[in-house]
Amino acid sequence: MTTTPTTPTTPVGPGLPTTPTPPIFELAVVLNGEPRAASVDPRMLLVEALREGFGLTGPKIGCATGDCGACTVRLDGRVVKSCLELVQSAAGSEITTIEGMAEGDRLTPVQQAFCDRYGFQCGFCLSGMLFAAEDLLARTADPSDEEIRDAIRGNLCRCTGYQNIVEAIREAAVTRRCATTGGV
């Protein structure tokens, strides 16, 4: 007679160890302009809380060591890698993710230029590239290619070979300057 293998189950009962329940932290932030709160594990990285607690999948987890830039967000006005921030230190802060970057339905000049110039393919690096570009153009209206390459240095793209990204940022700079000066 043959017997059907059964899936082992965790024994439960009086006196047996129980699986510890992870602690809960109420993370309240202003997220993409809206007050939001989520119950998360206090040991989480901010990028994990954004993805798992708030359901925002724009920030990606590439390396979790601060090397690739895929998790980039704006935190209280600073462009940061959210894998290097703990949820508890982000409490009460103002966070913008790539989902909140556009002005309503209108893409920013940087976002539009990335679309027009094929500045991304899979999009995994897009958060980091866009925030780095926005940050650069806020400081430098007419950056050289060297300054553009320097600004995106902390972001890794495995798809485009970077040239299209540099061209997109250069084009966005022109669009922003024209918007400011009326094309004069």
Should residue 98 be labelled a site residue for ligand FES when binding is judged by CB under 6 A?
Answer: no
Should residue 53 be labelled a site residue for ligand FES when binding is judged by CB under 6 A?
Answer: no
Should residue 121 be labelled a site residue for ligand FES when binding is judged by CB under 6 A?
Answer: yes
Part in contact with ligand FES (CB under 6 A); list of ranges 10-18, 66-74, 106-114, 135-143? 66-74
Site for ligand FES in 144-173 (CB under 6 A): 157-160
CB-wise, 88 or 177, nearer to ligand FES?
A: 88
Determine which residue in the list 70, 98, 152, 169 makes contact with ligand FES, applying CB under 6 A.
70
Q: What is the secondary structure of the chain as a DSSP string?
A: ------------STTS--PPPPP-EEEEEEETTEEEEEEE-TTSBHHHIIIIIS---SS--S-SSSSS-TTEEEETTEEEEGGGSBHHHHTT-EEE-GGG-SBTTBPPHHHHHHHHTT--SS-TTHHHHHHHHHHHHHH-SS--HHHHHHHTTT---SSS-SHHHHHHHHHHHHHHHHHHHTT-
Determine which residue in the list 88, 112, 123, 149 makes contact with ligand FES, applying CB under 6 A.
123
Should residue 66 be labelled a site residue for ligand FES when binding is judged by CB under 6 A?
Answer: yes
Q: Which residues lie near ligand FES (CB under 6 A)?
A: 61-64, 66-71, 81, 83, 120-125, 157-160
